[in-house]
Amino acid sequence: MIRAILGGISLWAIPVLLVGIPLIGMIRKIKVYDVFIDGAKEGFNVAVRIIPFLVAILVAIGMFRGSGAMDLMTNALRPLMARTGFPAELFPLAVMRTLSGSGSLAFTTDLVKRYGPDSLIGRQAGTMYGSSETLFYVIAVYFGAIGVKRTRHAIPAGLIGDFVAAVVAVAVCAWLF
Amino acid sequence: MLNYIWFALMAIAVIVAAFKGTAAGVTKGAVDSAKTAVEISLGLIGIMTLWLGIMRVAEKAGLISMLARLLRPISRLLFPEVPGDHPAIGAIIMSVAANMLGLSNAATPLGIKAMEELQELNRDKETASNAMVTFMALNTSGIQFIPATMIGVLAAAGSKNPTAIISTSLIGTLCGAVAAVTSAKLLQRFFPYPAANDAPPLPPGEGSARTGVSE
């Protein structure tokens, strides 16, 4: 029921917004087409301005993964994680989730196939994937778009959020399933 | 922060490659990622143009400021530095709402729009303001009602109940968001914003200048 409502909202939200917003503009006697073009002009610049930021971040992460440093790091930290009770199989995913969206999707799909989609590990992996966004991608895109170079506490705060989300995802699944 | 992380990722990659003989993998990682980054950015042009146009209509029609006034109690708590009727609040709300509904192709342009509005209030244009970091904390926690991608993966793998992860993901993402926003608020004093006299003075009329065309 709730899922059907949310699904309907997701399906209709964009068409309704695309017509509804100009409709209210028309009622308020705004030249909607002229105003649209005026705002839309910025679109190209914004998208292009992101390129250097995104190239820098994705290349560094791509090199890190390509060298095998990623595997080395997770293997080194695995015994430490095992002591905390965090499932060792899921730890690489937790690290990857903050770095790479496509990488963590591949990791999750692999875990789901290996352990089964209805297994505890499979569901924990799926929940971890669904519980956060790719931190470094988000930082690169949003700060890149406005040219902010000093991100201050954005990365520490994001990492704490991702850490809590991962721990809660694992714990809630273990408790519920 | 990014300077160190960026350099460390690449330096470690090269050192590890020297020991493991994976230099080819490093090269491939760099070349492929550069290509992906440009594809992502260029892929945004169309949708970015569309939403920035629609958002301008919404702004002129007074919809954004209406939304901002409506959710003033929450925004005052999260973004005390931003005036209640500022378009930034409306843009932030639109972006978070799009994220929640899983409308990722609308969420990114709306989020960038929100960052541009926050940049107008920002004194030092190269340093993140407190409000920006709080908004990023909300955004990186990826609050979403239906994790559609993952449900798809589970269903494709033959799950009998692929939607079982909806409730658990929601709990995970909400806890993550609360933790991230709380951390953003607690950490802001340890990452000081440059003092007023370090920053170039605001030229007159800067408050109304649109950062999007100031290239």
pLDDT tens for A145-168 read 999 999 999 999 999 999 999 999
Q: How many CB atoms lie within 10 A of CB B207?
A: 9
Q: Which residues of A fall within a CB distance of 8 Å from B184? A: 153-154, 157
From B73's Cα to the closest Cα of chain A, the distance in A is 23
Q: Which residues of B fall within a CB distance of 8 Å from A67? A: 12-14, 16-17, 20, 22-23, 25-26, 29
Q: Are residues A54 and A68 in the same domain?
A: yes
Q: What distance in Å separates the CA atoms of residue B128 and residue B171, rounded to the nearest whole number?
A: 29
* Test the B interface: residue of A107, A108, A146 with most B CBs within 10 Å: A146
Please check whether residue B78 lies inside any domain of the structure. yes
Element (H, E) at B47: helix B23-60
Q: What distance in Å separates the CA atoms of residue B13 and residue A63, rounded to the nearest whole number?
A: 6
| Spatial contact of B181 and B140, defined as CB atoms under 8 Å apart | no
Below-70 pLDDT ranges, chain B: 196-215
Q: What distance in Å separates the CA atoms of residue B159 and residue A30, rounded to the nearest whole number?
A: 51
Taking only the tens place, the pLDDT of each residue in A27-77 is: 999 999 999 999 899 888 888 888 998 899 889 989 998 999 988 888 888
Structurally, chain B folds into a number of domains equal to 1
B99 is in which domain, residue-wise?
A: 44-191
Q: What is the dihedral of CA B17, B22, B24, B28, to 10 degrees?
A: -80
Q: Which of residues 113-152 of A touch B (CB under 8 A)?
A: 113, 116-118, 122-123, 126-135, 138-139, 141-143, 145-152
Q: What distance in Å separates the CA atoms of residue A137 and residue A175, rounded to the nearest whole number?
A: 31
Matching residue, tokens 């690290």: A95
From A16's Cα to the closest Cα of chain B, the distance in A is 12
Q: Are residues A35 and A85 in the same domain?
A: no
Please check whether residue B74 lies inside any domain of the structure. yes
Q: Are residues A83 and A135 in the same domain?
A: yes
Q: Are residues A50 and A124 in the same domain?
A: yes
Q: What distance in Å separates the CA atoms of residue B69 and residue B192, rounded to the nearest whole number?
A: 30
pLDDT of residue B65: 82
Q: Are residues A140 and A76 in the same domain?
A: yes
Q: Is the pLDDT of residue A18 over 70?
A: yes
From B66's Cα to the closest Cα of chain A, the distance in A is 12
Local confidence band at A115 (pLDDT 50, 70, 90 cut-offs): very high
Q: Are residues A144 and A166 in the same domain?
A: yes
pLDDT of residue A6: 64
DSSP three-state, residue B127: strand
DSSP three-state, residue A5: helix
| Spatial contact of A152 and B133, defined as CB atoms under 8 Å apart | yes
pLDDT of residue A1: 66
Q: What distance in Å separates the CA atoms of residue A131 and residue A81, rounded to the nearest whole number?
A: 20
Cβ contact, residue pair B48, A47, below 8 Å:
yes
Q: Are residues A70 and A19 in the same domain?
A: no
Please check whether residue B19 lies inside any domain of the structure. no
Q: Are residues A172 and A110 in the same domain?
A: yes
Task: Name the nearest CA neighbour of B52 among A131, A45, A135.
Answer: A45
Q: What distance in Å separates the CA atoms of residue B150 and residue B163, rounded to the nearest whole number?
A: 9
Please check whether residue B87 lies inside any domain of the structure. yes
pLDDT of residue B196: 65
Q: Are residues A160 and A137 in the same domain?
A: yes
Element (H, E) at B128: none
Please check whether residue B58 lies inside any domain of the structure. yes
A93 is in which domain, residue-wise?
A: 43-176
Q: Are residues A69 and A154 in the same domain?
A: yes
Q: Which residues of B fall within a CB distance of 8 Å from A148? A: 119, 122, 125-128, 132
| Spatial contact of A146 and B121, defined as CB atoms under 8 Å apart | no
Please check whether residue B32 lies inside any domain of the structure. no
DSSP three-state, residue A119: coil
Q: What distance in Å separates the CA atoms of residue B169 and residue A31, rounded to the nearest whole number?
A: 43
Q: Could you tell me if A35 lies within 8 Å of chain B, comparing CB atoms?
A: yes
Per-chain mean pLDDT for chain A = 89
Percentage helix, strand, coil for chain A under 3-state DSSP, each rounded to 5: 85, 0, 15
From B191, which residue of chain A is nearest by alpha-carbon distance?
Answer: A152
pLDDT of residue A70: 84
| Spatial contact of B66 and B85, defined as CB atoms under 8 Å apart | no
Task: Name the nearest CA neighbour of A141 among B104, B68, B154, B197.
Answer: B104
pLDDT of residue B206: 43
Q: Which residues of B fall within a CB distance of 8 Å from A145? A: 112, 115-116
* Test the A interface: residue of B1, B3, B9 with most A CBs within 10 Å: B9
Please check whether residue B63 lies inside any domain of the structure. yes
Q: Are residues A88 and A34 in the same domain?
A: no
Q: Which of residues 51-90 of A touch B (CB under 8 A)?
A: 51, 54-69, 72
Q: What is the dihedral of CA A89, A162, B3, B207, to 10 degrees?
A: 160
Structurally, chain A folds into a number of domains equal to 2
Q: What is the DSSP string of B144-189?
A: -S--HHHHHHHHHTT-S-GGGHHHHHHHHHHHHHHHHHHHHHHHGG
Q: Is the pLDDT of residue A15 over 90?
A: no
Q: Are residues A107 and A136 in the same domain?
A: yes
